[in-house]
A and B are shown apart, each in its own frame.
Chain A
Amino acid sequence: MMTRLSFRNGMASLVVASSVLWGMAVAQAQSLPPLPKAVKDAGTLRIGVRCDAPPFGQSATDGKPVGIEIDIAKQLGVYAFGLADKAELSCVTTDARIPSLTGRKIDLIVATLGRTPPREQVIDYSTIYYWGSSNVAVLKDSPVQSLAELKGKSILIVKGGNQINWLRNNIPEVQFVQLNTASDSLQALFQGRADAYVTDGTTMALLLGNYPNLRVLKGEVDLGFNGVGIRKGESEMKAFVDAALARMKEEGMLSKAVKTHVADANLQAQMIRSFETPPPSN
């Protein structure tokens, strides 16, 4: 039996409840660790992103960058200074992104940056926000049927790609042809300049959708883990970014971003899994 609530008591509990809720919301908003002083004084967060790697980051017809990682970067700007515009986005290439960070041209890298031991010696990483394996593809009419058959053959890879070590260790005498971009490598495969092409699972899924004459070899190459790149020793920044990424995951922002930028339902499901679930054996 419900006790009869007097009007005054009812109002009082309403006030208490809403102030507690409001306090929690404020506390949540304020619960992100502070930015380093230098960045706070600068007033903008300079973030390096990809502008040629759909769906993570690409250029819209008006030249502005759009994509999942762009959304992440903009959200970091919102958390840092309250406005998405406060995240100053600049396009980086795979081999210039780390020197741009260490050279202080940007403050963060949110550009499909995989975590590898040599890179960890030079920069710090946030918590992993995306993981996935890579795949090796060949032309449909190629005689190669498995990864092992690539022994002594050549594989196309984007410069600075982190699949090189695993491939070197697992396929004897394999050679690499390194080009600047994914499309260059793809074109080179079609032109017969090498026997196979390795890239991350997402890009491969995109390509398979558009190029029916590609065939993926069974067997997944080493898992790759993507994190936000941070200059070495900037623990305040790392704390901020880690907390921001956690908040984004909680709010389901990442899944929303995937749905906005990826059309194919299968790829959507695969990517949401990679974004939302924790990486296996980190």
Chain B
Amino acid sequence: MDFNYILGALPDLMKGLKMTLMVSALSISLSLVLGALGAALRTSGHALLRQLVVGYVEFIRGTPLLVQIFFIFFGLPSLGIRFSVFWSGVIALTLWATAFQIENVRAGLASVQSGIRDASVALGLKRWQHAILVVLPIAARAALPPAMNTVVSTFKNSAYLQTTGLVELTFVAVDRIAYDFRAVEMFATICVIYLFCVFVLAGLAKLVEHRLNRPFAER
């Protein structure tokens, strides 16, 4: 294990990590927002919208992310739809993550008991007040663990984007191996980096869960 080599490669690796974090952050935020929207559509009264969302979710969950990425980056341009490497990656990751977040939020919404609606009506709350002040806090707490899970998965799946040439962390490692053949050094380094990032992300998720559950904690 040549540590000097690793030190020499660190600047490139850090550039790759920055790209990984940027793509992940964008995809995660977009997927959370779109996931909530999608779940709202999914539980709406409109049958066509519901079916569309269900169809979208099932298709994304039933196909490999790698093939989805290749379709968006290599396949769509034949139809004239082309995005940069960065945006193809963000779009692919967001489409994938949104499907899972829609399911997570939907499960959270389903956990709200039916009696709550009647209680809101009894209290004279309007529909939107009921949705934001009553349902949202309850559903968010229920949806949080699986949603955070998907957030971490989205971050990990950014590694798939190395196949399209996006210069993110895994790409830098594989690229250097193609020229210098130092597989052990490169993989050891990126494994440590990924583990560290996932650890931090999961820790943040736990923190958010704790904070949200504080009103319900036993005194």
> Is any CB of A less than 8 Å from a CB of B in the complex?
yes
**A residues adjacent to B (C-beta < 8 A):** 94-95, 98-99, 102, 118, 122, 159-160, 164, 177-180, 184, 187-188, 190-193
Q: Shortest Cβ distance from A138 into chain B, in angstroms?
A: 18
Q: Which residues of chain B are within 8 angstroms of A188 by Cβ–Cβ distance?
A: 165
29 of the cross-chain contacts (CB-CB < 8 Å) are: A94-B178, A95-B174, A95-B177, A95-B178, A99-B177, A99-B181, A118-B179, A118-B180, A122-B181, A159-B175, A159-B178, A160-B178, A160-B179, A164-B179, A177-B165, A178-B165, A178-B175, A179-B164, A180-B163, A180-B165, A184-B74, A184-B165, A187-B77, A188-B165, A190-B77, A191-B77, A192-B82, A193-B84, A193-B85
Q: Shortest Cβ distance from A177 into chain B, in angstroms?
A: 6
Q: By DSSP majority rule, is chain B's interface helix, strand, loop, or mixed? A: helix
| Interface residue? B183 (CB, 8 A) | yes
Bound-state CA distance A122–B181 (Å) is 8
| Residue with the greatest number of chain A CB neighbours at <10 A, chosen from B163, B164, B165, B181 | B165
Given contacts A99-B183, A193-B84, A193-B85, contact A179 B165 (CB under 8 A): yes
**B residues adjacent to A (C-beta < 8 A):** 74, 77, 82, 84-85, 163-165, 174-175, 177-181, 183
- When C-beta atoms are compared, the residue in chain B nearest to A180 turns out to be B163
Q: Which residues of chain B are within 8 angstroms of A180 by Cβ–Cβ distance?
A: 163, 165
Q: Which residues of chain A are within 8 angstroms of B175 by Cβ–Cβ distance?
A: 159, 178
How many contacts A-B (CB < 8 Å)?
A: 37
| Residue with the greatest number of chain B CB neighbours at <10 A, chosen from A95, A102, A122 | A95
Q: Which residues of chain A are within 8 angstroms of B164 by Cβ–Cβ distance?
A: 179
Q: Which residues of chain B are within 8 angstroms of A179 by Cβ–Cβ distance?
A: 164-165
- When C-beta atoms are compared, the residue in chain B nearest to A158 turns out to be B178
Q: Which residues of chain A are within 8 angstroms of B85 by Cβ–Cβ distance?
A: 193
Q: Shortest Cβ distance from B174 into chain A, in angstroms?
A: 7
**20 further interface pairs, Cβ-Cβ under 8 Å (given A164-B179, A187-B77):** A94-B178, A95-B177, A98-B181, A99-B181, A99-B183, A102-B181, A118-B179, A118-B180, A159-B174, A159-B178, A160-B178, A178-B165, A179-B164, A179-B165, A180-B165, A184-B165, A187-B74, A188-B165, A191-B82, A192-B82
Q: Which residues of chain B are within 8 angstroms of A98 by Cβ–Cβ distance?
A: 181
- When C-beta atoms are compared, the residue in chain A nearest to B183 turns out to be A99
Bound-state CA distance A260–B179 (Å) is 34
Bound-state CA distance A74–B179 (Å) is 29
Q: Shortest Cβ distance from A116 into chain B, in angstroms?
A: 9
Bound-state CA distance A191–B165 (Å) is 14
Q: Shortest Cβ distance from B25 into chain A, in angstroms?
A: 23
Q: Which residues of chain A are within 8 angstroms of B165 by Cβ–Cβ distance?
A: 177-180, 184, 188
Q: Which residues of chain B are within 8 angstroms of A95 by Cβ–Cβ distance?
A: 174, 177-178
Bound-state CA distance A98–B181 (Å) is 9
Q: Which residues of chain A are within 8 angstroms of B77 by Cβ–Cβ distance?
A: 187, 190-191
Q: Shortest Cβ distance from A184 into chain B, in angstroms?
A: 7
Bound-state CA distance A178–B175 (Å) is 9
Q: Shortest Cβ distance from B88 into chain A, in angstroms?
A: 10
- When C-beta atoms are compared, the residue in chain B nearest to A156 turns out to be B165
Bound-state CA distance A85–B116 (Å) is 73
Bound-state CA distance A194–B74 (Å) is 15
Bound-state CA distance A191–B163 (Å) is 17
The 9 closest A-B pairs by CB, nearest first: A160-B178, A95-B178, A179-B165, A191-B82, A122-B181, A191-B77, A159-B178, A178-B165, A177-B165
Bound-state CA distance A188–B84 (Å) is 10
Q: Which residues of chain B are within 8 angstroms of A190 by Cβ–Cβ distance?
A: 77
Q: Shortest Cβ distance from A147 into chain B, in angstroms?
A: 22
